[in-house]
Amino acid sequence: MTYIIAEPCINVKDGDCIDVCPVDCIYTTEEDNMMYINPEECIDCAACEPVCPVTAIFVEDQVPQQWQSFIPLNYDYFEGKDLDTLREATRTAPRKINESG
C-alpha cells in the first residue's frame, strides 16, 4: 500500500518529504501546486508522513473521506511521464510556494 499526498499540500510544497524519502519517490515540478508520491516506487516506510508540516500525507486506505479524490490524482499524475525528466524537475522545483518574502 502506498502513501498519498492530499489537499493540505496544495500551494505549500514544503519539500521535507522529498528530503527524507529513502527511495526518492516523491515528485513535483515548477508548474505543479503540490507534491505526488509514485505508488510504483513507494516502499511504505512512512518517513514522509511525520515530517509533513500540513499533515497532507496518508496511507492510501486512511485518506480522509473529503480527500479521497486525491488517491486517483496521485496515481494518474505519473501516467505517461518520463521519470528521469520528472526527477530532474523535482530537483529544481521551488519549494514552500505559500511563503512570502
Domain locations along the chain: 3-92
pLDDT per residue over 12-22, tens digit each?
999 999 999 99
pLDDT per residue over 21-45, tens digit each?
999 999 999 999 999 999 999 999 9
Architecture of domain 3-92: 2-Layer Sandwich (3.30)
Average pLDDT, the chain: 94
Nearest to 33, CA basis, from 59, 70, 60: 70
Asked whether the beta carbons of 82 and 65 are under 8 A apart, the reply is no
User: What's the pTM value of the predicted model, to 2 decimals?
Assistant: 0.91
Q: Kindly indicate the confidence band of residue 95, based on its pLDDT and cuts at 50, 70 and 90.
A: confident
